[in-house]
Amino acid sequence: MELLHSDKAPAAIGPYSQAVRVNGLLYTSGQIALKLNGEMIENDIKKQTRQIFINLSAILENSHTSFENVVKINIFLTDMNDFGVVNVIMAEIFGHHKPARSTIEVSGLPKNAMIEMDLIATVANYH
């Protein structure tokens, strides 16, 4: 097992790793819409969703994988009415690739985020 950290994504805000690689799989921790400097993106579902994908992309790249290798994504929303907006952005990011997904409405998220995501991806040439 390898604990991973990318300097191109915001640091963890608690006692956890950004991601863990084990047996050819990468598991990311939940990402909220933090900028690299740790500041939260404004309260806009489109902007928060895009920032999360920027952060996840940095973690995937640092771990030698990409969105094309994502097998599962978990999405946590504080308002299920944002589901359609998130779907549109996710379709832009993933294109024809359609990983498995769960979307869950929650009563609250860290730093009053509107959305949080984590994912599992395969890692090519894992040693």
Inside any domain, residue 24: yes
| Confidence label for 125 from pLDDT (cuts 50, 70 and 90) | low
Inside any domain, residue 15: yes
For tokens 């009415």, the residue is 81
Domain enclosing residue 11, as ranges = 2-122
Q: Rounded mean pLDDT of 4-11?
A: 92
Half-sphere exposure of 102 (CA within 13 A, CB side): 9
Inside any domain, residue 103: yes
Q: How many CB atoms lie within 10 A of CB 88?
A: 10
Inside any domain, residue 10: yes
Q: What is the pTM of this model?
A: 0.94
Per DSSP, the chain holds a count of helices (H) and strands (E) of 2, 6
Return d(Cα 126, Cα 38) in angstroms, integer. 30
pLDDT in tens, 58-112: 999 999 999 999 999 999 999 999 999 999 999 999 999 999 999 999 999 999 9
